[in-house]
Amino acid sequence: MRRVSLFVPCLVDLFLPEIGEAAVALLSRLGVEVVYHEAQTCCGQPAINAGYLPQARKVARHFLKVFGEDEAIVSPAGSCVVTVKRHYPELFADEPDWLARAESLAPRVYELSQYLVDVLGVEDVGATFGGKIAYHEACHVLRGLGVSEQPKKLIRAVAGAELVPLNAADACCGFGGEFSLHYPDISEVLVAEKAANFINSQADALVLCEPGCFLNISGYLHRHHPEKKVFHLATLLAGNGKGVRA
Amino acid sequence: MKIRTEQFVEIAREEMKNTRSKAFLGLLPPVINAMRQISLATFPDPDAAQAYGAAIRGEVVTRLPELLEEFERNATARGTKVVWARTAAEANAFVLDLAKKKGVAYVTKGKSMLSEEIGLNDALIDNGVDAIETDLGEFIIQLLKRPPFHLIGPAVNIAVEEVRDLFMEKGILAEPTEDPVALGYAARLHLRDKFHRLEMGVTGVNMAVAETGTIVNVENEGNIRFAKSSPRTQVSIMSLEKVVPTMADALHMIRLLCRNGTGQKMASYISFDTGPRAAGAIDGPEEVYCVIVDNGRADLYDDPVARDVFRCIRCGACANICPVYTKIGGYPYGWAYTGPMGQLLNPLLLGFSGTSDLFRACTLCGVCKSVCPAGVDHPRMFLYYRARDAAGDPKLRSRGRPLKERTLYDLFAWGATHPRLWRQGAKRMRPRVNRDARDGYLSRSVDSLDGWFRSRDLPEMAEKTFQERWKEREGRKANA
Amino acid sequence: MPYAAREDVLGKLKKTDRRGETPSRPPLPPLTELGWGTEQLIEKFTENLVLQTGVVHRVADRAGALEKLTEIARAEGWKAVMIATDEVLAPLDLAAWGRANGVEVLKAADFTGRDAFKDAVFDQVDAGITGVDWAVAESGTVALVHDERQPRLVSLAPILHVVVVPVDRILPVYEQAVERILAARGGMPAHMTLITGPSMTADIQATPFKGMHGPRRVIALLIG
């Protein structure tokens, strides 16, 4: 039996636990044993993005201690996976011991859809959804990990779902972590455009693989177009989409 | 050139309300991007072509001093007078002094971002030598005294009505018209006489070829060719990173520059100068000067991350696709360089204090990097700038960050390395955060999150975190 | 300018011990054009130049070229033209052609110096006529080496540029043109241009138009 260690980023843990639960349900259904380390907290991405590298190193060391022995680590958050895979080795460029640990961990960390399609070789996970789906190509998932076909294959295989084109699918939604707080005028224009493209796509739901984009786009839609639904891919694939808020 | 980088947020806000800027930004960048893709597709392997460009520029950065010496040696051997300037002031003083020595009343300028950087026009005009921009866009913004809106189209956002009134006022236009073509021809006629009587031309440099000592310029209008053909004296000013190793490299970079910059397979005119005019030639300069300008760059060369800005070839592809630039336009960047390359260059050249919005106002989406033909990793560099800024690096003229912010991240790091306290902290925060929640959502600002709530709601903090749910689940499993 | 500036700048650049190895180059990216045959080169040169609003006429030989030139001169109402004296034009004997057709044919050697030449090329001619050193099919480009026989302003100042291109001078890519020029002269010429269509701009409201500062039109006569 395959075994994965689930990395549940802080935004999911605190605000969107359903996404984590969906990932567990989905992996379990596919016969994967899910392990969850209770000592996990955050990957440190906010500190890296704000430039606080000594602080980020502390957090990264904690992460490496918690996850260091796992064979495969799976996360429903593309940008956190990028942090561990790409930024950790940069953080420890001058610390050979930690660099070795970071480099050894990097290839064992997977974004969820990447793990399902590339490692498990699964496309049809037995999910159903009645309606049209548009897929938002989150920046870190698309350009950070090069993951784009995997989620689309999974969506296409969902019974009853139709993947429809989304204009400017690969355009940034304007989240950018602190960016959305410090530059709200610009961020708002970007998320409004993403929402408009989604609405114009005539899709019933927008699906994505990134909790940050999820908070941003669903938060905007909840304010301005509350009838519009956004799902994390895990939620869609776990098949319990109806019961999930927003 | 007036520095307004500190007003980034205010100018961005104004520009996003400016219907004309909005209309142009909605229209122009997508068209240029589409043309860029079509023209890149004429390469049998576009990715390989871009990657080769990145390799050339990477080599330039590594071999910079040797390449500059090789260029100088070969250019000098062919009669080009190579001059070095450490600072903007030295560069400006040289050009001014030369103009005075030659007794010229005016010089024509080809579009040169470097000349905006060093403020050459003002230095000449303030000292009695007129400096006339001749690229149509630069000509217009010079008359309007406005900064460039876009690297390739500096005046592309200016309304025809405004150009009409300006040209009428300056006596460039005889009869009012709102036809852009007629306005362009009026500028042609006006500047034609300047080219005809020209005694000294000043242009920028797109590439300086080390192998042959050749200066390369890429243009569409012909104004640079006039500056290299009509006068007896010609001055090229280049920032020191413009050098490329070989002529073959230059040709490859020209292909990339045209495709990435304007979506053209080839610009109308590429000119290659190796020394003054050939013996017996009736036109072309008798003297060619090449001013190599440092202006703070050499001090950055020791920094292995920062020096990667020297890769940039000023094509502007990053701006045309940047989610931020395409919403705010060129003005908020507040200085010579606009878009992502401006976010990288302006802070290095001006210092971080007063420019930190430039490297922070970025979502790290990485689309700039994905289109760059020179291998610039913009997001990596933005993160690096932020880190050096947080560390208060004096070499980059950083003032450091507010104590409050530092304390916040100290607390964050401490919490994230103490899982139990992290959980307890979250639990304690929950009632405060969720105070005003309705139907599972927060709509009113909590703490310092005003920016978020201006346009967005937030799901309330979950009643039970994932971890709590996991523990319950495990408990149920154990009991079953 | 103090010599110290050079030493300062280069000194700073050379001081660092953090330069690292020069990165290795990936293989040179492929170019489709290298596989083109003669007729395809002519076709692609034409196609690319026409895309830039260039007008291309193909004629069989020199006589055909002169005939076409006469046609153009009449249609345009030419009174005077400025010509280069490069090896493509020389055998056409445009001076004789001009006398026969009532067109004043001027060349650099007719003028006492730069200023007189400039007065003529800026204000007194209806077109500039040049040959080419080479032409490049990949983008419909002509490569001109500027010297005594090829003044810079002939292809720039007049409103119309007529360029005569023997088809055997059309090469697939720029590199081949530059290699031949380097080989023939033992180095780069003082001034070389790659010209692709007329002068253009789109600087006012992104409205593109031809003839910003240089020629508004380019007519190519392909011989062969």
Q: Which residue, chain included where needed, has tokens 């139709």?
A: A162
The owner of tokens 């660092």 is: C16
pLDDT at residue number C23: 85
Q: Which pLDDT band holds residue A55 (cuts at 50, 70, 90)?
A: very high
- b or e along B100-139 (b: 16 or more beta carbons within 10 Å of the residue's beta carbon)? eeeebebbbbbbbbbbbbbbbbebbeeeebebbbbbbbbb
- Residue B21 placed within a domain: yes
- pLDDT computed for residue B381 by the predictor: 98
B174: exposed, middle or buried (C-beta count within 10 Å: 0-12, 13-18, 19+)?
exposed
Average pLDDT over residues B312-332: 97
Q: Is the complex ipTM higher than 0.95? A: yes
Section B281-287 average pLDDT: 98
In the predicted model, is pLDDT for residue A244 greater than 90? no
Is the same domain home to B58 and B20? Answer: no
The minimal CB distance from C30 to the residues B45, B137, B294 is found for B45
pLDDT at A242 over 80: no
Is A186 in Cβ contact with B361 (below 8 Å)? yes
Class of domain A123-243: alpha beta
Q: For residue B239, report the phi and psi dihedrals to the nearest 5 degrees.
A: -75, 150
Average pLDDT over residues B360-383: 98
Residue-averaged pLDDT of chain B: 96
Do both B321 and B391 map to the same domain? yes
User: Which residue ranges make up each domain of chain A?
Assistant: 3-117, 123-243
> What token pair was written down for B335?
């200085």
Q: Are B335 and B3 in contact, with CB atoms under 8 Å apart?
A: yes
Only one residue has tokens 């292995």, namely B304
Tell me how far apart the alpha carbons of residues B343 and B337 are, in angstroms, rounded to a whole number.
8
Which chain B residue has the Cα nearest residue A143?
B366
Domain limit, last residue, from B400, B428, B458? B400
B245 contacts in chain C (CB < 8 Å) = none
| Interchain CB distance below 8 Å, B52 and C29 | yes
Which of residues B295, B325, B340 is at a domain's end?
Answer: B295
Range of the domain at B458: 403-479
Q: Which of B63, B269, B304 sits opposite C22 (nearest CB)?
A: B63
Chains in contact with chain A (at least 3 beta-carbon pairs closer than 8 A)? B
Rounded average pLDDT over A29-41: 96
- Record: fold of C59-199+210-224: Rossmann fold (3.40.50)
Q: What is the pLDDT of residues B112-168, one digit of tens each?
A: 999 999 999 999 999 999 999 999 999 999 999 999 998 888 999 999 999 999 999
What's the whole-number mean pLDDT along residues A59-71? 98
Burial of C159 from C-beta contacts in 10 A (0-12 / 13-18 / 19+): middle
pLDDT on residue C1: 52
**Single-letter residue type at B419:** P
One domain, residues B263 and B190: yes
pLDDT in the model for residue C84? 98
CA distance B62 to B74: 20
Ranges of chain C whose pLDDT falls below 50: none
Closest CA to B74 of B209, B207, B206: B209
* pLDDT confidence bin for B65, thresholds 50/70/90: very high
Given this model, what pLDDT does residue C89 score? Answer: 98
- Please, is B420 exposed, middle or buried when counting C-beta atoms within 10 Å of its C-beta (0-12, 13-18, 19+)? exposed
3-state secondary structure (DSSP) of residue B413: helix
What CATH number does residue B260 fall under?
Answer: 3.40.50.10420
Residue B137 within any structural domain of the chain: yes
Average pLDDT, chain A: 95
Residue B9 has pLDDT above 60, yes or no: yes
Distance CA B220, CA B214 (A): 20
Chains A and C touch (3+ CB pairs under 8 A): no
- What is the arithmetic mean of pLDDT over B446-450? 81
* A139–B9 CB contact, under 8 Å: no
More confident residue, B311 or A240: B311
Residue B178 inside a domain? The answer is no
In this chain, the answer to whether the domains covering A3-117 and A123-243 adopt an identical fold is: yes
The predicted-structure confidence for B210-253, as pLDDT tens digits, reads as follows: 999 999 999 999 999 999 999 999 999 999 999 999 999 999 99
Q: Fill in the DSSP letter of residue C197.
A: S
How far is it, in rounded angstroms, from Cα A185 to Cα B18?
A: 13
B456 assigned to some structural domain: yes
Does residue B154 sit within a domain?
A: no
Instruction: Please report residues of C whose CB lies closer than 8 A to that of B195.
Output: 122, 157, 213
Confidence grade of residue A1 (pLDDT, cut at 50, 70, 90): confident
Q: Which residues of chain A neighbour B363 with C-beta distances below 8 Å?
A: 139, 172, 174-176, 179, 187, 190
Give whole-number Cα distances, B437 to A211, B425, B461, B467, C111, in Å.
Answer: 20, 19, 9, 22, 87
Domain end position, chosen among B400, B429, B461:
B400
User: C residues 182-221 near B, CB within 8 Å?
Assistant: 182, 187-207, 209, 211-215
C10–B268 C-beta distance less than 8 A: no
Q: Is C185 helix (H, G, I), strand (E, B) or coil?
A: helix
With residue A132 as reference, give the H or E element that holds it. strand A128-135
Instruction: State whether B266 and C146 contact (CB < 8 Å).
Output: no
Query: Do residue B203 and residue B104 come from a single domain?
Result: yes
**What number does CATH give the domain A3-117?**
3.40.50
Model pLDDT for residues B88-107, shown as the tens digit of each residue: 999 999 999 999 999 999 99
Q: Are residues B111 and B215 in the same domain?
A: yes
Report, as an integer, the average pLDDT of A212-221.
Answer: 97
| B321 and B288 share one domain | no
pLDDT at A225: 96
